[in-house]
Structure 1
């Protein structure tokens, strides 16, 4: 009997020791987990991983330690190890929602939208009020053009959280892509009236109005969005095209400056285009600076040399070297010959003016070239040739030609 009691006492002591050691182990695992979190926040990812490993070694089922370790791997762009850690949790507990959600985020970043949908549907099945999962699910559906399911998810979120206006903006995008334009515009109007995501709503509404061929209204909406510093590269290109088509110089300048500053700082063509607009606005000194930038980006850019020469001529600076450089780079650049002709008119060198304008007309018979050659003929008292050239200029819709024709030829 005494032996049995002694054996029982030994077993109790051993069991108590085991339980106490496990309690201490659990506390230690948590301590290592906290240290790992602090290391992660300090961006010391290697030490963070080391401490999460220690936590896991003390508690194999410490799911959050695996997931935090996965975050560390993502932070150092080791995607395969991150996915491996997430999968370890799912293998230990198949329906663990935080792991499924994190893996869905991983799939979304990898553009594996169908895999993301599978994981997110499992998360939502467990808890239909897990709003971040439903939002991500809507985005996944949207990215595979399953607009109806995306709309269903967003409508659920709006019904649950009517003051979360980001969902209203998302619904407007979905309705726009479903060509349910009235519904999309209705949501945009609500956002604008509430001043929630208003600039995004202006841009989106403008895009819809453009598709409906309501160009003036679309332009106004784009202008409001851009004025409030909301734009994308695509929006700026659309806005630039609309502005230039309607000869809206200030808007064209604004679009180009934003494009160059934010997206295309080394695009020589945009610098050239901006220089041309600045010339039209009579901002010649700024135009010269911009056109020099175009040339520095593309040293053999003959057209940029022509407009640089033009800007200089218009403020009485000598353009001759720039225009000759343009012709050297491209002997068929008719505009360079036009500009040389106009320069020689200003210098009263009419023979050289006539030669260069005639060359320009042979290369490309523009109304502008005919008009200026007519001026040379008139200055040389050759009314017949002047009127013939002015008639040609009129036919080519050069505006100044009609006034000159009435004065010289009528």
Structure 2
């Protein structure tokens, strides 16, 4: 059975077609690819439609914007803007949108009809049931990864396995793998879930990351390892975890909940076996962020000191640096892909050496001449954001200096082909081509 990929006169949806155009009907409803659909298209590209890649774009074109499906912002975008991270991954201009009931694929380069990859089981939640309020969308950003000579897009969701006879039904985590070149579901792995901790949101699921051939996934606060070769669960970590575990330094670092759900201890797990490598008792952590390829930042209540944060070596759990409670490390920290960790908290932004934690710059500055941007993305040595007075801006992650004051947009996601931001007129999640 074939499902046409409609791309109104330009680039196709799937990655294999990203450098060529394809024809189609241009309808608005997603095509259900399920587990066996295939994508087809005619290669009739013109040179003007060849997509452009800029490794670290500083400018984006706003004259050929592509509005993405409502699923891109559903439950995460309010009048005030993006309230929760968008469940979006990009690869060569193709947009992969995780949903609580599937994975949607659409071109970010030209208007196109989405492809919807669906789970094997009845999903615990559906996008259409979220309602008009922000919050409640349990979908998290997919993971794009290479394996076995293919580009795979991995997304996780929770479904319901019905009971039969005297056997009770139960929830199950499904890890779905889409073949990026075909725009189809390649395979899936089902993992039964135990009853979740009372503090864990129903339907919570995410692909945490990858180490070697093992992909780490989470569902209802439970951590698992899945082998990409055998496509089987190879371990499950004891205990319940807060959402937001990371893979760094060849280690799975997570926040494990105490039995009463009040305190969270930072622990490091072996990604191959799930066995505990270390535990940090010195902080009751509220938030965990990857600070770099080998370090993590855990913020919360530092024992005997009060509010603060610790920079930890991910492989050993050893403390690298301690930050005070008024530091920006108490908020969200992101690695720039080069050598800098950029942290934001309230109205302050600060950058640190990813390996040592030494501060490099901070905004607002002491002279009061520069304001802190609202950071939307940290990538390839650049910090993207907006200021209330001057709009979008691009800042050098290592120095804190402005490198572009008219970038066109402040992207929340970018892959060098397109950037994803909100349209000014209606806050719709929109894709914009890189311009330089």
With structure 1 as the length reference, what TM-score do the two structures score? 0.25
Bigger relative contact order, structure 1 or 2 (CA pairs below 8 A, ≥6 apart): 2
* Greater share of residues in helix: 1
With structure 2 as the length reference, what TM-score do the two structures score? 0.24
* Greater share of residues in strand: 2
**Higher Cα radius of gyration:** 1
